[in-house]
Amino acid sequence: MFRSVLPSPADPVYQLSQRVRADTASEKVDLGVGVYRNERGQYHELGALKAAKRILARQDANHDYEVTTGNAGFLANAAKVLFGWEADVISSGRATSVQAISGTGAIHLGALFLARTPAFKGKKVYVGTPAWGNYVPLFNLVGLEVVTYKHYDASTGTVDFTSVLDATRTADEGSIFVLQGCCHNPSGADFSRAQWDELADAMEARKLFPLFDMAYQGLGASLDDDAYGLRLFARRGFELLACQSFSKNFGLYGERVGVLHAVSGDREVAAKVYERLRCLIRWEFSSSPAYGARLVDIVLSNDELRQDWQTELATIQKRLADNRRALYAELVEKREAQGNWGSILSSTGLFCFLPLSPQQCERLAAEFHIHMLQNGRINVAGLSRSNIEHVASALVKVTSSPSSHL
């Protein structure tokens, strides 16, 4: 029977991870998978998280099942991080929050919820490209059709806002727009505040539905600044979904700590939404994982630890910005590299695109042991004071040789 199993598409991120692991060269540089690395290229554990683990150990929490929708205290704190500590959508009871299997699970749960809600029957999902590779399969998996439009202008390293607005003008009423709130994956090209304002006007006029992906809050700017777009839409009275992850901003990648938030028109509708999400969770994975959520809740419930966490996030933001400036200086100011490297400075968060062809990316890996996705996306956290000169030198070599294909 299993001979009938259909072939599956390759996963570029998985393939890259395997290649990195297999490379034992001392000069190896991993600019691939979206994990924050420290100056030594290793996993970085936040001090606030270490403290929370010690506190949890003293509490001697058991391993009983968590509530289906997740611990209420954790969910309340998560909503405050996302919408603001004094947000009206929370105090009015219009926000519904349930735990999910990290950000990916939150998007899947949100997609499943929309696919089973009569008002969205036949509605299409609009995704700006280039995009995170899981969007299309996640929505297709629940039977939703995806339409793509251009989000990123490679010539400027910024958002192609004309394309974004054109998509909103041509989409049918009630269409779903996936919006990355900050630190766009894979481009690092985010909307400005003025663009968020204009986008909200356009989507309100066309009665479009926003689904926010908030995987990187706190890695681009402050927690508040990174949530500007989401909070704007919430204040404007949009019904929306917001998918939150604590993988990146808490370093809890393997613990899969995420939340799906729904903002409804009133408290009564929000109660119905909660019950529907509770059913979907029960039918799909039964109950929420506890360990990582407990750690996040400990930090967010303690004023001192929460401040420590935010201070550590500011340090991470600064290092990512410093890495960008250092790479740009090595390439453009010191080595006068050919090509347009402005995307290094115009991007935010973990990622940016380098103006490289797949052949150049392959050469960087094969000859210089510098690993990145074939589309030129790099994880800026993989750069360090010890490898930036090596990376810049290799980039100049692969972009200036006669065989280069930009």
Rounded distance, CA 230 to CA 149, Å? 21
Rounded distance, CA 197 to CA 195, Å? 5
Residues serving a catalytic function are: 132, 213, 248
Cβ neighbors of 337 (< 8 A, separation 6 or more) are: 331, 392, 395, 396, 399, 400
Which alpha helices (DSSP H) does 160-206 contain, by range?
161-170, 193-206
What's the pLDDT score for residue 103?
A: 95
**10-residue mean pLDDT series, the chain (406 residues):** 89 87 89 88 92 93 90 96 95 96 96 97 96 95 97 94 97 97 96 98 97 97 96 97 97 95 96 97 93 96 97 96 96 89 94 94 94 93 94 93 52
What's the pLDDT score for residue 262?
A: 98
| 11-44+306-400 and 65-301 in the same fold | no
Fold of the domain built from segment(s) 11-44+306-400: Aspartate Aminotransferase, domain 1 (3.90.1150)
- Give the pair of three-digit tokens for residue 86: 């004094």
Rounded distance, CA 163 to CA 339, Å? 24
CATH class of the domain at 65-301 = alpha beta
CA-to-CA separations, 3 to 6, 80, 329, in angstroms, rounded: 8, 50, 55
What's the pLDDT score for residue 13?
A: 85
Rounded distance, CA 382 to CA 42, Å? 9
Q: Kindly report the pTM of this predicted structure.
A: 0.93
Q: How many CB atoms lie within 10 A of CB 94?
A: 22
The residue behind tokens 């996963």 is: 11
What's the pLDDT score for residue 61?
A: 82
Q: Please, what's the b/e burial string for 240-255 (b: 16 or more CB within 10 A of its CB; e: otherwise)? A: bbbbbbbbbbbbbbeb
What's the pLDDT score for residue 406?
A: 41
**DSSP SS3 for 323:** helix
The DSSP string of 375-390 is T-EEEGGG--TTTHHH
| Residue-range domain boundaries for the chain | 11-44+306-400, 65-301
130 upstream amide cis, omega within 30 of 0: yes
Rounded distance, CA 320 to CA 326, Å? 10
Rounded distance, CA 197 to CA 113, Å? 27
| pLDDT tens per residue, range 167-194 | 999 999 999 999 999 999 999 999 999 9
The dihedral region occupied by 68, where left means phi > 0, alpha psi between -120 and 50, and beta the remainder, is alpha
Biggest distance spanned by C-alpha atoms of the chain: 66
